[in-house]
Amino acid sequence: MSAPQTIRKVYFRGRLKKILTGGWVTVSALAVLGIFLMPLAYAITTSLKTQNQLSQADTPLLPSKQQMYTYQGQDYPVYYVPTTSGTKVLALMKKGREKSSFVDPQNLDAGLIEWVGAWRTLKTAWKTDIKWSNYPYAWKEIKFLVLLRNTVMYAILSTIGAVSSASLVAYGFARFDFPKKNLLFMIVMATIILPPAVTLIPRYAFFYKIGWVGTWLPLIIPAYFSNGYNILLMRQFFLSIPREMDEAAKIDGAGPFRTFISVILPQAIPALVAITLFHFFFCWNDFFEPLVFLSGHPDKFPITIGLTAFNRIFTRDPQLIEAASIMSAVIPLVIFFFAQRFFMQGVVMTGVEK
């Protein structure tokens, strides 16, 4: 074998190995993604089913309903019936314990067909039937617009306070020197490991004393006093921004606040998006604190509490519960889909110093 042929063979062998390796990685990633998406797929399919389908054991995975055959003005269920000539699709006309009567929709001239056996053991014939009406029904019964308004208001106002306060505090820790700076930062970081249940009763007593219980104020106002986790993320990102940019802004006559607004924040968009999404999703899924501070005021309940009350009422209608859950998850999924690039970049960059 000549040298060019040998080189060509080695080249193609390397290319084939690379393609196969990449293919296995892709297949593995798709398999993992499929496993994670299985609960979501199950919830969507369940939300489009009927209560009758969910109450039966031999139902298909896709939304379906039992096939019915209209004969002489009446509807009769259709089953797969084993016969001497093979399995046939027959309509059950008369039910019996040991013997039942069927009719063949494809051969009505044959008349009633007597079948010996327990009809309950027969496999039901299903046909696809997507119940889109579950969504408008759940929307109306759960009063989704009211819950959505409350949740969006809580999430947006709280997120604005959390992001703005964390940015200012993190800017102070990242760019300024003051007495006991490291000690104060350690105290702020210590609040991360403090369980919320420890401070719940004192906070409730304080907010009750000043008349805030039953309003949105205990849920929104504390966010404007920052959060240790958000401060840590923003500080780490601010430290990655070169100080030369601050010095250049100072030479141009910009003060600390102008530098923060015009120089630091535009460079920190990924980190800002990351903590915005973190806090927004936290507020969207928050259940315990709204339950405590808004108890007895159903007109102020967010989606999480509204869904819990809806679940108690419609326990026997899982398709409606799933429909309401899917509707409540649409907005966070859409937001994350459009902001995922900035979100991932912010999460990665907050732990890297340049």
Identify which of 66-80, 147-161, 325-339 has the greatest average pLDDT: 147-161
Query: Taking residues 318-323, what's their average pLDDT?
Result: 90
Banded model confidence at residue 271, pLDDT cuts 50, 70, 90: confident
Query: Average pLDDT over the chain, rounded to whole?
Result: 85
188-247, pLDDT tens digit by residue?
988 888 888 888 899 999 999 999 999 999 999 999 998 888 999 899 889 888 888 888
b/e sequence 260-297, b meaning 16+ C-beta within 10 Å = beebbeeebebbbbbbbbbbbeebbebeebbebbbeee
Q: Give the burial class of 133: count Cβ atoms within 10 A of its Cβ; 0-12 exposed, 13-18 middle, 19 or more buried.
A: exposed
- Which pTM was predicted? 0.75
pLDDT of 313 strictly over 70:
yes
Residue range 143-349 forms a domain whose CATH class is mainly alpha
Banded model confidence at residue 13, pLDDT cuts 50, 70, 90: low
Cβ contact 136:125 at 8 Å: no
**What confidence score (pLDDT) does residue 166 get?**
93
pLDDT of 149 strictly over 60:
yes
pLDDT of 272 strictly over 70:
yes
Give the separation between CA 77 and CA 246, rounded to whole angstroms.
Answer: 78
Give residue limits of the domains in the chain. Answer: 1-47, 68-124, 143-349
* Total count of residues recorded for the chain: 354
What are residue 316's phi and psi, to 5 degrees? -85, 5
**What confidence score (pLDDT) does residue 164 get?**
94
